[in-house]
Structure 1
Amino acid sequence: MIRLSRGTLPPRVQSSLDRRTRNLARDEATTDVARKRWKSASGLRDQLRAELAKMAAGLDRCMYCGENVGTDVDHFEPLSHAPLRTYDWLNHLLACSRCNSQAKGDTFLRDPHGDPLLIDPTAEDPHEHLELRLASGRYRGLTPRGIHTIDLLRLNRSELELGRAGAFIRAVSMLRDSHVLSRRGRATEAQKVLAALHEQPFADVFHVMLRIREKPRAHIIIDDAEALTALRSLAMNR
């Protein structure tokens, strides 16, 4: 999970959301009513998904697991908890069906202060709550919110751990390749490799690599001098 920047909606789309929210409030809509209206708004959902895809990492990846393509417009705070937030743009995330329906569902716990225990990657930096071990692909919770997010979304299920570990190996290889190509004067090909790296699943792996690139132990974690050189050069040019 990585930090994502939420964009501003086109005025026409935002106006539609505002109007529908006013109607829900006027009708004192229950969860069932909100769900029916949301289900019938297929055109609006398609528009929202397109806007969320612009914010997502890689190629339309789920904002929770980072592996699967995001197919669903997820309500961060579920409709069963806040039906009046059905059309709240700040309450919408792009998620795969596995994270949205099978893992998260209607669960939405809060801490003693009333703040959500689930991390919203568009409102805060998940890095403050989660630590990713690159070699194993396993997450460790740094805070109660991090621990709950891992447990709720099942971020440490075996296929995700294996996927992240594989993504780390691929990232090192691609960085090394880009460095070699640049050194040989093949800058265009090197840029294509780096562009492909940005489109890979598990964007959290590459973001962690960028974070640790200048740390004293970076050469131990990223045990490839050419890949680390490429990573540091890329980071300085970002």
Structure 2
Amino acid sequence: MIPVQRLPATDRLVRLCDSRTEKIRELGATSKVARDEWRLAESAKNEIRTLLEKMAPGVLRCMYCLDNMGTDIDHFEPLSRTPLRTFCWHNHLLACSRCNSNYKREEYPCDDETGQCLLIDPSSDDPADHLELLVTIGEYEGKTRKGEESIRVFGLNREDLVQGRFDAYVTSCDVLNSWHRKVRRGDLTGAALSAAALRREPFGDVLRALEKLGRLPYAATALGDELADSLQAWLRTPTAANPINAVPRPHAKSHDPSPAV
């Protein structure tokens, strides 16, 4: 997981969601009412999906696993738990069908004492505060209880994701070294293409973990001289300081800012 930047809701989305929320309230605010209103709200869902796709890491990646296409609008806090948050903009994330339907489903673990949610919301939490990616083997370790619960609920250490992250680690190392060689010989166009492709790759958490390693004083010992040099050069580039959604996607549409729902 990596952070995603929550965009402000559009004026149109605020109107659509406020209207649907008021109707849910009037009809009793049950989970059945919420599901019925969600099923019928095509305009609101289209507006929500458009904004979520602009926020999505890589090329429309699931905000949980980063591997598959984000095909579903997930209610982070399930509508069965809080029907009146069904149309809350801050309660929507883009997920793949596997994460949404096979893993997270209706789970929303909370601390018994504080009532705080024990799942990482990548639009408000920095996953790195709760998760440690062992980049050379592709597995996550929980640094906090929230991290451990997120690994369990999202299935972050399922076999296909571990293998995918390891493959992404191998590929990222190769591309970083290739990018650095292009920079040194003055092929800035080629270097820019390599950088853009790397940032669009699935498993953006692997690149982020490598960037973290590249900042350590013992980076050369851990990664080897060539890769450490490539990472240090990479980290000096302007977008390395703020890599999330650094590469614009041509399909994205602009929206007027408005207060969030």
Q: TM-score range by the shorter chain?
A: over 0.9
Match of 1:109 in 2: 109
Q: CA deviation at 1:191?
A: 0.6
Deviations 1:145-175 (A, max 9, x none): 1111101111101110010011011111001
Q: CA deviation at 1:227?
A: 3.2
Q: CA deviation at 1:43?
A: 3.0
Match of 2:11 in 1: 11
Match of 1:49 in 2: 49
Instruction: Report the AA paired with residue 19 of structure 2.
Output: R
Match of 2:235 in 1: 235
Query: Taking CA–CA contacts closer than 8 Å with sequence separation of 6 or more, which of the two structures ends up with the larger relative contact order?
Result: 2
CA RMSD of aligned residues (A): 1.2
**Counterparts of 1:114-133 in structure 2 under 5 Å?**
114-133=115-134
Q: CA deviation at 1:80?
A: 0.9
Give unmatched runs, 5+ long, in structure 1. none
Match of 1:211 in 2: 212
Q: For residues 54 and 118 of structure 2, what CA distance do their matches in structure 1 show?
A: 26
Deviations 1:66-104 (A, max 9, x none): 100100010000011111100000000000011111101
The reply on whether 1:179 has 2:180 as its aligned counterpart is yes
Q: CA deviation at 1:20?
A: 1.3
Q: How many residues align?
A: 237
Q: CA deviation at 1:131?
A: 0.4
Give unmatched runs, 5+ long, in structure 2. 240-261
Q: Note if contact 1:175-1:226 (Cα within 8 Å) is conserved in structure 2.
A: no
Match of 1:88 in 2: 88
Deviations 1:32-63 (A, max 9, x none): 11111111122321221121111111001000
Q: For residues 228 and 6 of structure 1, what CA distance do their matches in structure 2 show?
A: 32
Deviations 1:197-229 (A, max 9, x none): 000000111111122212023223333x33332
Structure 1 SS opposite 2:190? helix
Q: Bigger shift: 213-222 or 147-156?
A: 213-222
Match of 1:69 in 2: 69
Q: For residues 180 and 38 of structure 2, what CA distance do their matches in structure 1 show?
A: 49
The TM-score with structure 2 as length reference comes to: 0.87
Identical pairs, percent: 41
Q: CA deviation at 1:176?
A: 0.5
